Structure 1
Amino acid sequence: MATDAAADFEFFILLARLKSMSGAARALDLTPPAATKRLGLIEQKLGVRLVNRTTRSISLTPEGETYLRYATQIVGQVRQMEEELAGARPDPHGLLRINATLGFGRTTIAPLVSEFAKRFPNVDIQFEVTDRPIDLVADAFDLAIRFGELPDSRLSARRIMSNRRFFCASPKYLERFGAPQRVEDLVQHRCIVHRQNDDAYGVWRYLQGDRIEALKVKGALSSNDGDIVLRWALDGHGILIRSEWDLAKYVQSGRLKLVLPDTPLPSADLFVYYPSQRNQTTRARAFIDFLVDHFQAPFVPVETGALIYAQKKQAGRKT
């Protein structure tokens, strides 16, 4: 009975998060009729209706909100109990749920998850990529990997890579249209806009002293995908803001040039964040340490010469 109740809680939490019966069915490898039947059995056992169903989505009834609140608390307490009981085990083990941004998660974090899984075969990993930040606590993730500022003051975080941002453009664009001499000149240029989450469209922010200033730019091309806008910049369509992680190899090869390099922009440092360090699992700590080790000096800084960096790296090896 207890096992059935725990499974019901997990099922309903997932259903409430996805707001889709078919989505919950796919996530649990069930058929939609089986998922519908499972919900019906839970409602029958409780004697109340937990969700309002339409052909496209579901919404929780007041009773469903109450059930979700208690189910989330109970599942969290059970996981905490299991971690405390298993805390003496030195080897990472158990389920680790990780979230990352869509493009970066697919191209960079997914291969690292594969390597980590080879190193720690007793850890079961659920890795999800999303285009928007998630609620780490409500969605029951152990950790998330994101660029930029910590999204929630309730969370703890560890910086795993410094990552500055720069204006940039291809040599062919700068030869044709010239380079802006001051930030205000950007309003006269063709700018490529990377649309992210709920950010104001075409508003670029830069630092002036200890203040953040905003500038409204315009351009013919915009996308919500970072790889796409970078490709457009390489093709000479305009000026773009990208991070050091994306730009380093193109600046070194000469395919992109920095624009207004002395104008500082808000950074896009890479963080891993998690609900609580006090109750952090052995497997989560192992994965975070694994990330930090991987991202130590991942690229040559764009505004310094490769020779200086190579010399420092060589000196570190000798010591």
Structure 2
Amino acid sequence: MPSHPSHPPRQGPDALASSFAASYAGVVAFIAVVTEGSFARAGDRLGIGRSAVSRSVQKLEEQLDARLFFRTTRSTTLTREGELFYENCHPGVERIVQALEEMRELREGPPQGRLRVASTVGFGRKVVAPLLRGFQRKYPEVAIDLLLDDAATEFTAGHVDVAFRNGRLEDSQIVARQLFPMQLLVCASPAYRATHGLPRSVEELAEHRCINLRHASGRVCEWEFKVGGRPRKFSPQAMTSFNDAELVLQAVLDGQGLAQLPGYQIFDLVQGGALVPCLAQYAPDDRGHYICYLSRRHLPSRVRVFIDYMTAHTRTLNVQSLTTFSAAPR
């Protein structure tokens, strides 16, 4: 009889389904271990035991014929093969998990789960944190981690759901809603004004003691103005600088000099007479405070209701300083 080339037996639909189920469970367990840093915490995250996570990962390693983790009693780290596999499968799994979470929340009722929120330090303390109590009264099943950091937000690496950012946004990958304009105003204490007076132009700032804010990167924050319809930056030769906005504000209140401060931080102090504004007629008008997230699609309901709540309530805050402050020093 003539010979025919041999072919491996074709898998039936049951075998294919079984293989897919094992692979999917293994990938989900694998992603959870990488994200949480241990098999035990991955089990807590997935609502299953540590041994179940370990078995799923072992089956996946057998299917891939590759070792994905180095495991000791104290640590769990990725092998090189594990790093490559994570880079390839993580985006797809994240989209699947996000969609499943949204569907489960829609089916099971009110928003629930943990929400990681990032904000700059000053804005987080003054604006975001005071509104969280009202949000959690309305949505008691949503737990919130508020992370305050003036460094740029890393959504993916930091597992951040929502971030509050100041200034100008140039990242096209981020969805951003402006909450209200970012108003910057030069201020001094009444005692400083009584002793040194106040500048009437940007040029006169060079004759005054200034206090600078230093970014997390170490770079000194430039002062921004709009003169004759054009943006203008000023870099004061300050005797004092801080990397904390609250310390800058306190130095101004203590009469040490002038500083350019955001309206939300100083509005009540100006209203109460503790600070005196100047150069308001030169304030820039092309910056804003934003609430940001990565995608409009597949937003879990806890993220969606948080964005809507914070957008509505921050816009009602009485921080629109330039409509009230005097434009010229007295």
Match in the other structure for 1:128? 147
1:210–1:248 Cα change, 3 Å: same
Superimposed CA distance per residue, residues 200-227 of structure 1 (whole angstroms, 9 cap, x where no aligned partner):
4253222234543222211121111111
Q: Would you say 1:233 and 2:233 are equivalent positions?
A: no
Partner of 2:313: 294
The match for 1:66 is 84
Q: 1:124 to 1:252 in 2, by over 3 A?
A: closer
SS at match of 1:66: helix
By how many angstroms is 1:3 displaced? Answer: 5.4
Please say if residues 225 and 231 of structure 2, whose CA atoms lie closer than 8 Å, have aligned partners that are also in contact: yes
Count, aligned residues: 283
C-alpha displacement of 1:234: 0.5
Aligned to 1:280: 299
Any stretches of 5+ residues in structure 1 without a counterpart?
16-20, 52-57, 307-319
**Structure 1 residue 247 corresponds to structure 2 residue 269:** no
| DSSP-derived class of the 1:193 partner | strand
Shift of 1:276: 1.3
Cα root mean square deviation, aligned: 3.6
The one-letter amino acid paired with 1:195 is R
Do 1:10 and 1:75's aligned partners in 2 also have CA atoms closer than 8 Å?
no
Instruction: In structure 1, give the amino acid aligned to 2:98.
Output: R
Q: 1:14 to 1:212 in 2, by over 3 A?
A: farther
Contact 1:144 1:272 in 2 (8 A): yes
Question: What letter is aligned with 2:31?
Answer: F
> Residue 161 of structure 1: CA displacement?
2.7
The residue aligned with 1:55 is none
C-alpha contact (below 8 Å) 1:252/1:302 kept by paired residues: no
Matches within 5 A, 1:202-241: 203-209=222-228, 211-241=230-260
Contact kept in structure 1, 2:189 and 2:274, CA below 8 Å = yes
Deviation at 1:122, TM superposition (A): 2.7
Q: 5 Å matches for 1:1-319?
A: 5-13=27-35, 45=61, 47-48=66-67, 63=81, 65-69=83-87, 70-84=89-103, 86-87=105-106, 91-106=110-125, 108-150=127-169, 152-198=171-217, 200-201=219-220, 203-209=222-228, 211-265=230-284, 269-299=288-318, 301-305=320-324
Contact conserved, 2:120 with 2:164, CA < 8 A, in 1?
Answer: yes
Structure 1 residue 48: Cα displacement: 4.8
Measure, in 2, the Cα distance between the counterparts of 1:300 and 1:225: 21
Q: Which runs of 5+ in 2 are unaligned?
A: 1-21, 71-75, 326-330
Q: Are the equivalent residues in 1 in contact too, given 2:66–2:81 (CA < 8 A)?
A: no
With normalisation by structure 2, the TM-score equals: 0.72
The answer to whether the Cα contact below 8 Å between 1:116 and 1:290 also exists between their aligned partners in 2 is: yes
- The 3 A distance-change label for structure 1 pair 90 and 148 is farther
CA separation in 2, counterparts of 1:64 and 1:271?
37
Indicate if the aligned counterparts of 1:193 and 1:229 stay in contact, CA closer than 8 A: yes
Contact 1:190 1:238 (C-alpha < 8 Å) held by counterparts: yes
- For the Cα contact (< 8 Å) 2:98–2:299, is it kept in 1? no
- 1:201 maps to a residue whose letter is V
How far, CA to CA, are the matches of 2:114 and 2:321 in structure 1?
Answer: 38
Q: TM-score, normalised by structure 1?
A: 0.74
Q: CA deviation at 1:103?
A: 3.9
Counterpart code for 2:303: A
The one-letter amino acid paired with 1:281 is P
Are the equivalent residues in 2 in contact too, given 1:144–1:273 (CA < 8 A)? yes
- Kindly name which structure, 1 or 2, has the bigger radius of gyration based on alpha carbons: 2
Q: Distance in 2 between matches of 1:60 and 1:174?
A: 61
What's the offset of the Cα at 1:169?
A: 0.9
Over 3 Å counting, the alpha-carbon distance change for 1:132 and 1:91 in structure 2 is same
Q: Whole-Å Cα distance in 1 between the matches of residues 98 and 197 of structure 2?
A: 59
The answer to whether the 8 Å contact 2:178/2:289 transfers is yes
Name the aligned partner's letter for residue 212 of structure 1. Answer: P
Query: For residue 28 of structure 2, what is the amino acid of its counterpart?
Result: A
Q: CA deviation at 1:61?
A: 7.0
**Residues of 1 paired with 2:121 and 2:220: CA distance?**
20
Q: What is the identity percentage for the equivalent residue pairs of Structure 1 and Structure 2?
A: 28
* Code of the aligned partner of 2:207: Q
More displaced stretch, 123-132 vs 274-283:
123-132
CA distance in 1, matches of 2:154, 2:249: 29
- In the alignment, is the contact (CA less than 8 A) between 2:67 and 2:79 conserved in 1? no
Aligned mates of 1:62, 1:151 — CA distance in 2: 34
Q: Secondary structure at the match of 1:6?
A: helix
Give the match's secondary structure for 1:262: helix
Distance in 2 (CA, whole Å) between partners of 1:92 and 1:135 is: 24
